[in-house]
Chains A and B, each alone.
Chain A
Amino acid sequence: EVQLVESGGGLVKPGGSLTLSCETSGFMFSAYSMNWVRQAPGKGPEWVASITNSGREIYYADAVEGRFIIARDNGKNSLSLQMDRLGAEDTGVYYCARSYGSGSFIGLFDPWGQGVLVSVSS
């Protein structure tokens, strides 16, 4: 069974930093691109960042470019998201999601983890 388990969320003050982790199991992690997707309360999901299976290609949404860093450790089957200079607009549930496949399916996300809440407030 494929499992994605996020951790590291919490309450942080504006301007602060947080690092999220995603531990995975049940599939060949090194064969898949991985992603972070977030969802603000009552809103639709918003893609945040993606990293290809080798880690050679990385993409960020404009809203987080320069503040967030996505990384992976294929030896530990894990994904991370380092978040700096956080603002209220970054509040939401952050999901780790596997890409459905390769090629044109890189931007299709399935499955997702259960998510972790990040709250940015003073």
Chain B
Amino acid sequence: DIQLTQSPSTLSASVGDSVTLTCRASQSIGRRLAWYQQKPGKPPKVVIYEASNLESGAPSTFSGSGSGTDFTLTISSLQPDDFANYFCQQYQTYSWTFGQGTKVEMK
């Protein structure tokens, strides 16, 4: 199985900050990577797919980049609603796998 490693595990930031989350795959997955946002007690929700495509309805402050094994999710200006857990997921090869997550918390 393809392993996904996210860093950092926790990121402390303030409203208005720009933050970058990283996801590294154990082998190349092309651009078949999605980022999900999850809030407590809720299911994950896609914010980015195909590494850099913004999901309909997701804020334009979210952007994704990368290909192959290294990917990033950037939130250009953190809003109160953005404090959440973020998971990357590869859908290049079944069995599909998720990273362990990055918690974006308020500083």
Interface residues of A (CB under 8 A from B): 43-47, 50, 59, 61-62, 95, 97, 100, 104-115
Contact = CB atoms under 8 A, between A and B. Distances in A.
Given A108-B34, A108-B91, A47 B46 contact: no
B93 to A, nearest CB: 8
Nearest to A63: B95
Interface stretch (B61-69, B76-84, B96-104): B96-104
Nearest to A93: B43
Contacts of B95: 47, 59, 61-62
B82 to A, nearest CB: 19
Q: Which 5 residue pairs spanning A and B have beta carbons closest together?
A: A107-B91, A112-B43, A107-B96, A44-B98, A110-B46
B52 interface: no
B2 to A, nearest CB: 11
Interface in B16-72: 32, 34, 36, 42-46, 49, 55
Nearest to B36: A45
B46 A108 contact: yes
Contacts, number: 59
A113 B44 CA distance: 9
Contacts of B100: 43-44
15 contacts: A44-B98, A45-B98, A47-B97, A62-B1, A95-B43, A100-B46, A104-B92, A105-B49, A105-B91, A107-B96, A108-B89, A109-B89, A111-B43, A111-B45, A112-B43
Contacts of A109: 44, 46, 89
B29 to A, nearest CB: 11
A111 B45 CA distance: 7
